[in-house]
Amino acid sequence: MIERKPNPTDAKTYYQLGNDYYEKSDYEKAIENYNMAILLNPVFSEAYFNRALSYYQLKNFDKSVADYTKAAELDPQNPIIYNNRGDAFYRKQDFQTAVKDYDKAISLNPNYLKAFYNRGLSYASIEEYEKAVEDFTKVISIKPDFAEAYHLRGLAHEYAGGLGDAIADYEKALELNPELAEAKTHLESAKAKKDQEGKGEGGGEGKTGDIKMLQKPNMKFDDVAGMKKMKEEIRESIVYPMMNPELARRYGKLGGGGILMYGPPGCGKTFIVKAAAGECNSGFINAKLSDLLDMYVGNTEKNIHKVFELARKNSPCMLFFDEVDAIGGRRDQQEGQQYMKMAVNQMLYEMDGVEAHNDNVLVIAATNAPWDVDPALRRSGRFSKTLYIPEPDYDSRVAILKLHSKKRPVAALIPFRLLGVATMGYASADLKAIVEEAATFPWREAFFAIEKRTEKYTAQGVAKEEAEERAKKEVYQRPITIADFMKAIMKKKSSLPPWYGQAKKQIGKQEEVTIIDGKEHKKVSDSKMGPAEKESFRDLLSVINTRSQWWHKFLVYGIVRYSSLVTLFMYTLVMDKKIVLSSK
């Protein structure tokens, strides 16, 4: 950009400089130049308007409103000014005033698409869904290929109770834009609600969501493989207090507050919470993110309040938030996401605010990223107790492998204990994937053999159905062998190392190696977390420190796992030889 030399008496020069800085997203500099333009020409409406735009970009909505108001006084017939001032009021969550400005913009321009669109959002935010539908309908009449307008009208229909119309609008939105992920998610949700209505579930009008969320899992700890030590800890922290809340409250074991369960992904946090709920004589609410997060300003906070109120009305009750970091994330890392900061504030208020009565409500949250949970949520009276759910230990791995193999055709003499050693460092989900992968090998062999035999018979003139039946009877469908498990383990690596790496980066010590003048220098720096925060995660820190030791890597991966794989290989050769000899 060629630097202009501003004329001290020329307001337009400063105005143009302000525009240049605005285009470069340097809003502070833009404001400085608009200030000079207005100082030189106090009735310069465009300068007020553009300064308002700059304040809006800086999230200073009060000053933005003030400048738009001055611009409107100087140029009262400009609909864009009223629409933009409405946007600023909308961001301040003053939806009623925003609607008035959109009304004015539309009166000046009856086909002002943006004003109808924004007014529809405002009506939806104050739960006037019928009016929102009217505005989005107008937007669609102006621009028939506007996929997002169909999506938003569908949301308004759904909130108003019109599931059929909502589904039709979501489908139209996806027809126009197949990449509109939110529309796809809402379409699936609306169809699920429609199916539920058809089955007669939901109790009565207006209660479908509540009854749907109040569901007691039909599983218990017997359905969870292994994890004996963790089960007992969860019994003491969750199950026993909820089975006798009066006694627990007397001894201070249940009196508000909550439990934060954290650990590596795929290790059974969600599953074990549902099992714990099945053990209790209490209500259970699984507050899913899809039920809480809402695109309309203020609605996420309302949904959080509703779910807490539902738990209080049905106490004793267990309220479960999965992936709590998505809704209760650190506010200092949510730059420009004011709506998410408001959601965290609402969580804080519901858990220990003045009007929070959670005496018979146990709030449980699960996360794979505890370092991303706002520190205020981990203080006393909130999620003050933390439970680390580690990767499965040896006995748990053996039990998990047996559980997932139970309903499959598995050969005799499978050494599950040896498999448990070979899968050291694997998550529960990884173990399930290993069993599924092992089953794939004999299934694939049988499938293609049946297909080949069927083609042979059909070529001989046998009817297709009869050919398939013959092929299924004649083809040997072998069981899953130790060789299949061996191949699956070699193919499937543990998914946990990247997570431990991220955990170490967030809460552990960092070692940085630099080379200066040909010499290697090591610099060990601590994480950004303070000592008090680290204390909450001492169990995980202990695991990280142990895994970082050279002797642990050598012992686990250099000796134990390698030896178990060699033993498995030898065992596989012996078993294959036995099978060959027995077949002769």
Q: What is the mean pLDDT of each run of 10 residues along the chain (584 residues)?
A: 53 91 90 92 92 91 93 94 93 88 94 93 84 92 92 86 88 88 79 65 39 62 78 80 78 69 85 82 76 69 83 80 72 50 74 62 84 73 79 89 90 89 89 93 93 91 89 90 90 87 76 62 62 73 78 72 80 64 46
Q: Which residues pair with 261 in a beta bridge?
A: 366, 387
Residues in the chain: 584
Which tokens hold the place of 336?
């420009």
Among 221, 218, 195, 226, which residue's Cα sits nearest to residue 208?
195
3-state SS, one letter per residue, for 29-91: HHHHHHHHHHHHCCCCHHHHHHHHHHHHHCCCHHHHHHHHHHHHHHCCCCHHHHHHHHHHHHH
Among 175, 141, 178, 135, which residue's Cα sits nearest to residue 155?
135
Among 215, 281, 257, which residue's Cα sits nearest to residue 358?
257
Domain with residue 455: its CATH number is 1.10.8
111/188 same-domain check: yes
Residue 16 lies in a domain: yes
Domain end marker among 495, 526, 544: 495
558/433 same-domain check: no
189/125 same-domain check: yes
332/439 same-domain check: no
Q: Determine the pLDDT at residue 533.
A: 67
Q: Determine the pLDDT at residue 336.
A: 39
Query: Degrees (nearest 5) of the Cα angle 456, 461, 464?
Result: 70
Residue 395 lies in a domain: no
244/355 same-domain check: yes
What's the CA gap between 279 and 435, in Å, rounded?
28
Domain end marker among 356, 388, 420: 388
Residue 2 lies in a domain: no
Residue 201 lies in a domain: no
Q: Determine the pLDDT at residue 313.
A: 80
242/371 same-domain check: yes
Q: Is the Cβ–Cβ distance between 187 and 155 less than 8 Å?
A: no
| Cβ neighbours for 506, distance < 8 A, ≥ 6 positions apart | 369, 371, 527, 528, 529
pTM check: above 0.95: no
Domain end marker among 441, 471, 495: 495
Domain containing residue 52? 11-194
What's the CA gap between 536 and 230, in Å, rounded?
17
3-state SS, one letter per residue, for 428-445: HHHHHHHHHHHHHHHHHH
Q: Determine the pLDDT at residue 337.
A: 47
Which tokens hold the place of 147?
């996929």
Report the number of distinct structural domains present in the chain: 4
169/285 same-domain check: no
Query: Degrees (nearest 5) of the Cα angle 313, 318, 320?
Result: 115
Residue 397 lies in a domain: no
Q: Is the Cβ–Cβ distance between 310 and 213 less than 8 Å?
A: yes
Domain with residue 319: its CATH number is 3.40.50.300
277/263 same-domain check: yes
269/290 same-domain check: yes
Specify the amino acid at residue 54.
Answer: S
**Within 13 Å of residue 341, how many CA atoms lie on the same side as its CB?**
8
What's the CA gap between 261 and 283, in Å, rounded?
19
The 3-state DSSP class for residue 375 equals: helix
Residue 208 lies in a domain: no
What's the CA gap between 197 and 205, in Å, rounded?
10
378/348 same-domain check: yes
19/39 same-domain check: yes
Domain with residue 174: its CATH number is 1.25.40.10
Which tokens hold the place of 521?
């220098």
Q: Determine the pLDDT at residue 141.
A: 93
Reply yes or no: is the peptide bond before residue 316 cis, omega within 30 of 0. yes
249/334 same-domain check: yes
Residue 298 lies in a domain: yes
What's the CA gap between 253 and 248, in Å, rounded?
5
Residue 148 lies in a domain: yes
Specify the amino acid at residue 160.
Answer: A
